[in-house]
Every structure is written in C-alpha cells, then in structure tokens.
Structure 1
Amino acid sequence: MTIKDTAEEWRITATATPFVGNKTSVRTDDVVMPDGSVSRRDYQVHPGSVAVLALDETGRVVLVRQYRHPVRQKLWEIPAGLLDVPGENPLHAAQRELYEEAHIKAEDWRVLTDVYTTPGGCSEAVRVFLARELSEAEGERFEVEEEEADMEIARVPLDDLVRGVLAGELHNNCLVVGVMSLTAALRGAGLDALRPADAAWPARPFEA
C-alpha cells in the first residue's frame, strides 16, 4: 500500500462567501457525503504561503520573533509570508521574505517540505524552503511596519530548537515543521537529497 495524499473533490450543492477580508475570505459549502447526506463546511480561503528555514555555516537557524494577535503571544518563527500574487513563483516569494524580514540572501535553496497548516478549516498551503550559504543582503533594510516594527531577529542552534519544540516551548507551525523536517533530512539521505527549489507544487501551481 502506498501512503500518499491524493487529489479528490466531493460534489458541492451550494456555496456562499459570507466574509471577504483583505487577504483571505470565508466560504461556506454544502458538501455531499459518501452516504448521500449533505453537510455544511465553513473554511478560510487562503492564497498560500512560503517559509524559509535559513541555516548558517555553524548550524544555526535564523529566527524572527513577532506578536501574533489571534493567539495573544509573541512567537519565534522562521521568515515567512503570503503568496500575494496569483501564480507567483514560490522561490521568488521566499527570497523576498528572507530579505525583508532578516536582510539576508542565500545561494543554495531546496524544498524542505510542503504542508497544509489546518486542512480541516483553511485552504492554506505552505512550502517550506531550506536556504543555505547565507550572507548579508545588499542595500538598505526593508522598512517594516505594524507588527513587524517590533520584530526581533536571532540565530539559534538547531539542537536547541528541537529541544524547545519537544518541550512545548515553541509553537509556530512552520518553525516546528521546518525544524523537525531538517532534523529528519540530516539523519536520513542528507540535505543534497532534498527536492530542488523549483520542484512542482500541485497545491499552488506557479510560473517558472
């Protein structure tokens, strides 16, 4: 038996969009179940995101600390951002986010993992990249605003992050997934066996 997610779409008898926000919306679908009944499903429609686990030559991960209002916490995270433009190349978006949030550029990029953050209630798909061969970006720093105006930046050893995740001290989805995926890759086939940065992403098809 092959353990692999597969595309499938159940029949929808009615749909509505009761809320449209700045970046996302809420959709209500009446979905036909396998027994023929119809159930209503409310979910957030999301454009998708990218995240960057930037690993320096000493084995430290670049983190940012940002206030997240829905959970009323300041979270340590890896640089990340929305796919603002439909069809945008996720690698280009990831490079932009690493520059804007950490003022860093990277020469080596790989796909670390692809995830749906909360598939029971949101359509958000995230591609987490691994970035290596880091250096300071050229030019002036990106001008930040709102929550990002209070952002902190740090470089933390990977082993410390694994400990923090397992101790329940670090909670950001992309950080947790990225750190544990990187640890598994290092203990497995190695980082050079990861998918190339331009690997296909069926969840969010993009232009080359």
Structure 2
Amino acid sequence: MTAPSDETPNLHLSADGLPQDRVNPRTLVSRETAFTGQIFDVVRETFALTEGGDELVRDYMKHPGAVAIAALNEDNEILLINQYRQPVEMNMWEIPAGLLDIDGESPLHAAQRELAEETDLSARTWHTLAEFNNSPGCSTEANRIFLARGIEDAAAGDLIEREAEEAEIVTRWVPIERAVSAVLSLELHSPTSNLAILAVWASIQRGHADLQAPDKPWPAHKLLRESGTGE
C-alpha cells in the first residue's frame, strides 16, 4: 500500500511538517439539548459534511472540559493522588485535576486553584505540556495538562477543607521512571495521568524544549472556541 503524500488534501500538517489537528466545522442544520445533567448535557446535532449533502444526526456529551497538573519536583518525581471513582468502582492514582466550571476563570488559574485545593501546594513555574480530547466521537470534553515546577506550599487563603471523595485523597511523589513503568505495566488507568506521565518523561528527555506558554490559545476546546475565549 502506498502511503499518502503530503499533498493529500485531507492530510493536515503544521508549517514544519508535523501532523496537526485543525478546526474544520461542517454545515450545522440544527442543534437541541436532549438531556440536561449536573455536569454535562447531551446535545443532538443535525449536520452535513458538505453544503447540501446528506444530513447526519449525532448525539454527544457537552462537557465543560478540564485541566490537570503534572507537578514535578527538583528530583524529577511526579505528584500522584489516589482517589475513588464511582463509575468504575476503583481507587485510582491520578494527577491533580478539575473541571472548567467557573465562568470567566482561565484554564491556568483553574489549574493553580485545583493544585492548591487537592494537594495544598503551589508552583512558581507553569507551562502547557499536552492537550487531548477524551472521546471526540461522543464528547466535547477537552483537557489541558500543565507542567508545574518550583513546588512549594500553597498560601493559607488558597486551602480548602476537602469533602466527599476528595476527603480521601492520598498524595505520593513518584520517581518519573517508576511512574512510566507503572503505565507500561498496565497498573495505571487514568488517561490524564498516563498521558501526563509519558509526556513528562518525553519532555525530560528533550530537555523541556517543546513546552508551551501556560496561556497559549486553546482552539481544540470547542466551548472556549465558540465563546471566543479559546483563540
């Protein structure tokens, strides 16, 4: 089989030739909310891939998105938290994370707040490490992972009394090599944590040369894009 060439119309590449996801909305015919929930809604959209083409109907979860924090100390240990997750009935090792559910709050500020609220820590240096869409075939949920370094205690005013599942949070600093081994040994199952661990490891190997600004535009987050705050 012949590999597609760089001239293939559907093959989107960045200026330096890397594969690149691109925003490419199609013709929207209608949109309605089929279900309204506490955190997410279910939206039904009718659309066409081309103007005047056949109409398609898809249901998807409208989710506010989230941020996560790969906190890395001076010994190249990553901070993991253990928390119970009811849908899968598992205690899971994850990285600190939280929803983008406060109107007007920037992703960076949300990450700084979540780090303090879940671990009682703060960081002096922040970068965007990676982004991903959890399940783009059925959800708008977008996640941005920040790399946080220069770890120190959070200010007293940023601390909260953790409740419900968060009251059981346990924190551990894990050498990044050990965390990578846990991922590759199928011991860890949080997609956010697994991606963060592997991305941190890769970033260390590359001397952190690819880190992005913490306030970099986020067009892959559909809801921020539509509100005009993601570009």
Task: Pick the aligned partner of 2:41 from 11, 16, 25.
Answer: 25
1:94 aligns with 2:122: no
1:10 aligns with 2:26: yes
> 1:44 matched to which residue of 2?
61
> 1:138 matched to which residue of 2?
155
CA distance in 1, matches of 2:167, 2:37: 23
Query: For residues 1-208 of structure 1, what are the structure 2 equivalents within 5 Å?
Result: 1=6, 2=13, 3-33=19-49, 36-139=53-156, 141-188=159-206, 190-202=207-219, 203=221, 204=224, 206=229
CA distance in 1, matches of 2:28, 2:216: 31
Aligned residue identity for 1:191: H
SS of 2:156's partner is coil
- What's the offset of the Cα at 1:37? 2.7
TM-score by length of 2: 0.83
Larger RCO: 1 or 2 (CA < 8 Å, sep 6+): 1
Deviates most, 179-188 or 44-53: 179-188
CA distance in 1, matches of 2:49, 2:124: 48
Aligned residue identity for 2:150: E
CA distance in 2, matches of 1:199, 1:133: 20
Deviates most, 132-141 or 37-46: 132-141
Deviates most, 63-72 or 133-142: 133-142
SS of 1:70's partner is helix
- What's the offset of the Cα at 1:62? 0.9
CA distance in 1, matches of 2:152, 2:74: 10
- What's the offset of the Cα at 1:84? 1.4
Contact 2:203 2:209 in 1 (8 A): no
CA distance in 2, matches of 1:66, 1:198: 28
Aligned residue identity for 1:4: Q
CA distance in 2, matches of 1:33, 1:199: 30
CA distance in 2, matches of 1:116, 1:193: 20
TM-score by length of 1: 0.92
Point out where structure 1 has 5 or more consecutive residues left out of the alignment.
none
CA distance in 2, matches of 1:134, 1:84: 25
- What's the offset of the Cα at 1:88? 2.1
- What's the offset of the Cα at 1:74? 1.1
Point out where structure 2 has 5 or more consecutive residues left out of the alignment.
1-5, 7-12, 14-18
Q: How many residues align?
A: 206
Question: Could you give the per-residue CA deviations for residues 82-131 of structure 1, whole angstroms, max 9, x where no partner exists?
Answer: 11124421111100000000000100111101111111111011110000
- What's the offset of the Cα at 1:192? 5.0
Aligned residue identity for 1:30: T
